[in-house]
Structure 1
Amino acid sequence: MHSKRGSRPGTVATVAAAGTVAVGLLTAFVGTSAGAAASGRHPGWEQSVRAARVQQQAAAPAHRPSHAKPAKPKAPRKVSRSISHHTVAGGRSVSLTLDDGPHPEWTPKTLDLLRRYHIKATFCLIGPNAERYPKLVKRIVAEGHRLCDHSVDHDTGMDHKSVAYQKQQILGAKRMIDKASGGARVHYYRAPGGAFTPASRRIAAEHGMRPLGWIVDPGDWQLPGTEAIVRHAKEQVEDGAVLLFHDGGGDRSESYQALQQLLPWLKKQGYSFSFPKA
């Protein structure tokens, strides 16, 4: 559209400018109508908005600010504050959880083993480890496993620390995991050593993470030997149980070898694998 300011005075110039405006508006109207007719449908919301913008440009400066409200961030999912110890599937199912990773040696080997047996697991990640090995975190997600927040420093005495400290440990780790994964959902929070408090469970739940416990603890973190780990796991297993294992925190060769024996044994016993209740 031509501005009147800066044009020569006179009837001819005024008529020419008016004619230009009229032709422009008529062309826009005909074009919109033709497009609607060609598509066989009535012009929708987008066409109406486009027409309104043409009118606004004719009546107001192009730099007029928009009054559109910014999109609100999504609220965290509502989850229970109670500690989850059982599978979502129930019945003759178990849930495998793996703590303290990711680890550059044992996490890839464990992922390969899980893929071999078509099993999905939950990986409880230490924040700085996730930050250090983002490719492994992304692989965990890409292969269909779930993520769990296992704090920043794995402080098993967290239940004796301030609420502010607990919040920093939980949410600090979640930020690291979020960044490493590219924003994949973190379904759970597991307190180091099971050091939950009402405050830590509340903080986790308010940020969409169900507190995650376990039923079966074969003590692999104590390095008792592969045979002992397998025996303890078989003695403790029950329907719907969450199993606690480790793929990080040091040399996990015993844990890996135990899983090589335990996973096919569980399948032969008729157990399926499910995620924990979230």
Structure 2
Amino acid sequence: MSRTGNLTVALTFDDGPQPTWTPKVLDQLKAAGIKATFCLIGRQVKANAALVRRMVAEGHTLCNHSWSHDLRLGHRTDVQIKADIARTDAAIHAVVPGVPIRYFRQPGGEWTAGEVKLLKEMGKVPLGWGVDPWDWKSPGVAQIVSRVVGHTSPGSIVLMHDGGGDRSQTNSALHQILPALKAKFVLQALPPGTA
């Protein structure tokens, strides 16, 4: 899934929860009245449980982004892939019981056909993206803004990061991105599905 399937635009944030940057992203989304989708790293959930609870309380959708951001996860055995996803879901559910975790995003987008098939068997939606500003590489605030605002169209899924390193540029870029996109599109979290 790399588009929303309708005219809405979905903002997604990867590699959190993270204690410095995730709250800043949440603050900006709340101030703008925008709901997003957060793709969580399982091993970071317990230490940042309050942030995960805040995401849910503020109406954001949660996505499984693997236990430890294993770029090679799609090349592991079916048993290993299932265990990684189940472990991450369990960590999230230990903090927010019963919350739907419908989506899975493969770290780095390194999908394999076997992994996609397995996810569908598990009832997970493989979540991709259509707009990638490469904010994780810290290309500069102007570049991040230009790439997101310039490439987003109705139905886009936008990839950004609230974890995985210094996200000061992403945080600064959001001050321009959020009002620019809100003026042109309906921004919504991806539908959470059922628990």
TM-score using structure 2 length:
0.92
The offset of 1:101, in angstroms, is: 0.4
* Mapping for residues 1-278 of structure 1, pairs under 5 Å: 84-88=1-5, 90-91=6-7, 93-268=8-183, 270-276=184-190
- Residues 185-240 of structure 1: CA distance to partner in whole angstroms, max 9, x if unpaired? 11210010112223323333344321100000000011111111111112321110
Whether the aligned pair in 2 keeps the contact of 1:96 and 1:273 (CA below 8 Å) is: yes
The offset of 1:126, in angstroms, is: 0.1
In structure 2, distance between residues paired with 1:178 and 1:121: 19
The range that moved more, 220-229 or 163-172, is 163-172
The range that moved more, 127-136 or 137-146, is 127-136
Letter in 2 for 1:145: H
Letter in 1 for 2:40: L
Structure 1 segments (4+ residues) deviating >4 Å: none
Q: Percent identity?
A: 43
In structure 1, distance between residues paired with 2:53 and 2:77: 32
Whether the aligned pair in 1 keeps the contact of 2:78 and 2:118 (CA below 8 Å) is: no
TM-score using structure 1 length:
0.65
Question: Cα RMSD over matched residues?
Answer: 1.6
Number of equivalent positions:
192
In structure 1, distance between residues paired with 2:110 and 2:96: 26
Greater RCO, 1 or 2 (C-alpha within 8 Å, sep 6+) = 2
The range that moved more, 226-235 or 215-224, is 226-235
SS of aligned partner of 2:165:
coil
- Greater gyration radius: 1
The offset of 1:173, in angstroms, is: 1.0
In structure 2, distance between residues paired with 1:204 and 1:180: 23
The offset of 1:242, in angstroms, is: 0.1
SS of aligned partner of 2:9:
strand
In structure 2, distance between residues paired with 1:205 and 1:159: 14
Whether the aligned pair in 2 keeps the contact of 1:186 and 1:208 (CA below 8 Å) is: no
